[in-house]
């Protein structure tokens, strides 16, 4: 293919995997056209701030916490669920900030995380074959022909739900809800109620002492906005390229193109072919971008991906999110770290300990073991330590709700507990308490 200049539509000249089969392509085009007239969801300047903060992560001066839903739902769309998800992420961030001793950059998988890549385009039940569920931005999960038919009007609903979610997140994070003293108080409550409380008390008490010391020195939320408000960014997998194209706008300040659907977008493990449409699209937007890196990626693949997505070798531009599986991370990750380091690129390296550790139980529940999740993170830290690179962050699927989707954690959820509150539409998420368990365990690894 001859090199053509990048435009928000140039992805259309490349093979695009994982796109729905819209029954009426004209209706899809009309929705994309309409979306392109609607206001941006985020501003270019905010995406630039995130890029600068991620540059700090790349240089080993900050840590990334990227967390949120596997797939947001049009039905489970409630203020309290958004608040509780944010609350858990803020709580985790306080533990990680203290343990890592560096700022934690907080990025939600939220306000746009609707589209799901699928291993098969269709699903068969009792001899009936229907299109696979691809997330609420495309179709519905019920196994009927009507529900599974891709409906482009869902793109507009996703846009509007993202806008209201962002509005609430902005209010919560700038309106006092994120006050450090309050978040610490929630953590104290968690530690008191946890079966592993004794184990976590050490870190919690140290944070308590640090806060008292700061208070005694006259530093508190009343006079320090940094203790009272947080910067919280949004992200999702840029999967449905028509949607992303519609929200890509030229920044009036710099003349550069930004995808204003989120501060950061990433390309998934299934759509990261170098000459594919997703990589073409991401290569031209100036947002910070991510790429999932699974066990099949070779060192050559990853360096080529860096060259394509970050030709200027700009720290903060590219986050490589590795998801190898707890058993393979020790073998597979070091050669990638060495090769990228030798190439002169300085990406953020983040560990997704979820997607390489999924399995299905005998009774058909897709799940993950807390211990495997923790082990992959430990392996990720060890690999970086051995190579001399910075383990920049973690990327997890979670909810604030008390769901029973992943096994283990301090409350020791068993396979028999899974049906009790199994609510995910796609992958199993850590519940609120498991998420905090994980933050304290990662805190121990960092401390
Ligand atoms: C995801 O993050 O939900 C996902 C599908 O991940 P991956 O592309 O790594 O499989
Ligand atoms: Co997932």
Q: Could you read off the pLDDT tens digit of each residue along the chain, which spans 447 residues?
A: 456 799 999 999 999 999 999 999 999 999 999 999 999 999 999 999 999 999 999 999 999 999 999 999 999 999 999 999 999 999 999 999 999 999 999 999 999 999 999 999 999 999 999 999 999 999 999 999 999 999 999 999 999 999 999 999 999 999 889 999 999 999 999 999 999 998 899 999 999 999 999 999 999 878 888 888 999 999 999 999 999 999 999 999 999 999 999 999 999 999 999 999 999 999 999 999 999 999 999 999 999 999 999 999 999 999 999 999 999 999 999 999 999 999 999 999 999 999 999 999 999 999 999 999 999 999 999 999 999 999 999 999 999 999 999 999 999 999 999 999 999 999 999 999 999 999 999 999 987
What pLDDT score was predicted for residue 220? Answer: 84
Ligand 1 touching residue 72 (CB < 6 A): no
Per-residue tokens: 126:
């009792």
Ligand 1 touching residue 355 (CB < 6 A): yes
Q: Which of 277, 346, 363 is nearest to 310 (CA)?
A: 346
What 3-state DSSP class applies to 322?
strand
Tell me the C-alpha distance between 261 and 35, whole Å.
Answer: 11
Task: Classify residue 418 by its DSSP letter.
Answer: G
Per-residue tokens: 96:
């990680």
Burial class (CB in 10 A: 0-12, 13-18, 19+), 382: middle
What residue owns the CA closest to ligand 1's atom 10?
269
Distances (CA, A) of 246 to 26, 37, 288: 15, 8, 18
- φ, ψ for residue 297, nearest 5 deg: -70, 130
Per-residue tokens: 20:
């729905």
Those residues whose C-beta lies under 8 Å from the C-beta of residue 205, and which sit 6 or more positions away, are none
Cα 397 to ligand 2 centroid, rounded to whole Å: 7
Residue 99 near residue 377 (C-beta atoms within 8 A): no
Tell me the C-alpha distance between 428 and 123, whole Å.
Answer: 19
Distances (CA, A) of 132 to 140, 157, 273, 416, 441: 9, 20, 22, 28, 36
What residue owns the CA closest to ligand 1's atom 3?
70
Cα 355 to ligand 1 centroid, rounded to whole Å: 6
Residue 90 near residue 183 (C-beta atoms within 8 A): yes
What pLDDT score was predicted for residue 186? Answer: 95
**437, containing H or E segment:** helix 432-446
Per-residue tokens: 434:
């498991």
Task: Classify residue 244 by its DSSP letter.
Answer: H
Residue ranges of domains in the chain: 10-178+229-446
Burial class (CB in 10 A: 0-12, 13-18, 19+), 18: buried
Q: Which of 238, 290, 239 is nearest to 260 (CA)?
A: 238
Ligand 1 touching residue 242 (CB < 6 A): no
What pLDDT score was predicted for residue 224? Answer: 86
What pLDDT score was predicted for residue 392? Answer: 98
What residue owns the CA closest to ligand 1's atom 1?
70
Task: Classify residue 296 by its DSSP letter.
Answer: T
Ligand 1 touching residue 269 (CB < 6 A): yes
Measured over the CA atoms of residue 217, residue 177, residue 87 and residue 166, the dihedral's sign is: negative
User: What are the residue ranges of helices labelled H in 285-424?
Assistant: 299-309, 329-343, 370-387
Cα 55 to ligand 1 centroid, rounded to whole Å: 23
User: Angle at which helices 197-216 and 79-100 pack, to 10 degrees?
Assistant: 80
What pLDDT score was predicted for residue 383? Answer: 98
Fold topology of 10-178+229-446: TIM Barrel (3.20.20)
Ligand 1 touching residue 51 (CB < 6 A): no
What 3-state DSSP class applies to 283?
helix
Q: Specify the residue for token string 């199993």.
A: 428
Tell me the C-alpha distance between 250 and 391, whole Å.
Answer: 33
What pLDDT score was predicted for residue 3? Answer: 63
Q: How many residues does the chain have?
A: 447
Buried b (16+ CB within 10 A) or exposed e, 138-168: bbbeeeeeeebbbbbebbbebbebbbebbee
Ligand 1 touching residue 350 (CB < 6 A): no
Which atom of ligand 1 is found nearest the CA of 321?
A: 9
What pLDDT score was predicted for residue 446? Answer: 86
Cα 417 to ligand 2 centroid, rounded to whole Å: 21
Please choose from 114, 115, 427, 430 the residue to mutate so as to test ligand 1's pocket, defined by most ligand atoms within 8 A of CB.
Answer: 427
What pLDDT score was predicted for residue 7? Answer: 98
Ligand 1 touching residue 278 (CB < 6 A): no
Ligand 1 touching residue 272 (CB < 6 A): no
Tell me the C-alpha distance between 168 and 420, whole Å.
Answer: 30
Cα 399 to ligand 1 centroid, rounded to whole Å: 16
Tell me the C-alpha distance between 336 and 320, whole Å.
Answer: 10
| Cα distance from N-terminal residue to C-terminal residue, the chain | 50
E strand map for 57-180: 63-68, 104-109, 122-125, 128-131
Please choose from 323, 366, 397 the residue to mutate so as to test ligand 1's pocket, defined by most ligand atoms within 8 A of CB.
Answer: 323
Q: Specify the residue for token string 């997505």.
A: 309
Q: Which residues pair with 84 in a beta bridge?
A: none
């Amino acid at each position: 293919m001859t090199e053509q200049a990048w435009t928000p539509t140039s992805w259309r000249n490349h093979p695009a995997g994982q796109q729905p089969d819209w029954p009426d392509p004209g209706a899809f085009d009309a929705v994309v056209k309409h979306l392109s007239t609607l206001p941006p969801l985020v501003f270019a300047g905010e995406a630039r701030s995130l890029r600068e903060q991620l540059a700090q992560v790349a240089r080993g001066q900050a840590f990334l916490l990227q967390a949120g839903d596997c797939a947001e739902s049009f039905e489970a769309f409630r203020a309290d669920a958004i608040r509780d998800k944010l609350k858990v992420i803020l709580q985790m961030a306080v533990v990680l900030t203290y343990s890592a001793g560096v700022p934690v950059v907080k990025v939600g998988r939220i306000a746009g995380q609707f589209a799901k890549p699928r291993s098969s385009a269709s699903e068969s039940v009792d001899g009936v074959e229907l299109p696979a569920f691809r997330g609420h931005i495309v179709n519905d999960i019920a196994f009927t022909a009507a529900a599974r038919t891709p409906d482009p009007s869902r793109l507009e609903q996703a846009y509007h739900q993202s806008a209201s979610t962002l509005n609430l997140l902005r209010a919560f994070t700038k309106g006092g809800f994120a006050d450090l003293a309050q978040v610490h108080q929630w953590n104290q409550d968690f530690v008191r109620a946890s079966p592993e409380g004794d184990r976590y008390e050490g870190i919690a008490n140290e944070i308590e002492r640090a806060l008292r010391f700061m208070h005694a020195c006259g530093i508190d939320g009343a006079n320090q906005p940094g203790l009272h408000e947080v910067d919280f960014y949004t992200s999702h997998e840029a999967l449905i390229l028509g949607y992303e194209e519609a929200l890509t706008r030229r920044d009036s300040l710099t003349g550069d193109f930004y995808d204003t659907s989120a501060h950061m977008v990433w390309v998934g493990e299934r759509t990261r072919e170098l000459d594919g449409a997703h990589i073409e699209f991401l290569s031209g937007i100036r947002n910070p971008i991510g790429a999932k890196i699974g066990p099949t990626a070779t060192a050559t693949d990853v360096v080529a991906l860096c060259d394509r997505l970050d030709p200027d070798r700009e720290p903060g531009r590219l986050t490589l999110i590795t998801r190898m599986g707890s058993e393979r991370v020790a073998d597979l990750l070091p050669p990638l770290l060495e090769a990228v380091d030798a190439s002169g690129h300085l990406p953020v390296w983040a560990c997704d300990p979820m997607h390489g550790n999924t399995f299905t139980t005998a009774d058909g529940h897709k799940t993950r073991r807390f211990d495997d999740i923790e082990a992959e993170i430990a392996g990720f830290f060890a690999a970086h330590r051995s190579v001399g690179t910075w383990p920049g962050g973690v990327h997890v699927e979670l909810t604030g709700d008390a769901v029973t989707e992943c096994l283990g954690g301090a409350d020791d959820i068993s396979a028999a507990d899974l049906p009790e509150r199994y609510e995910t539409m796609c992958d199993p998420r850590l519940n609120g308490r498991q998420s905090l368990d994980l933050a304290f365990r990662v805190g121990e690894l960092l401390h």
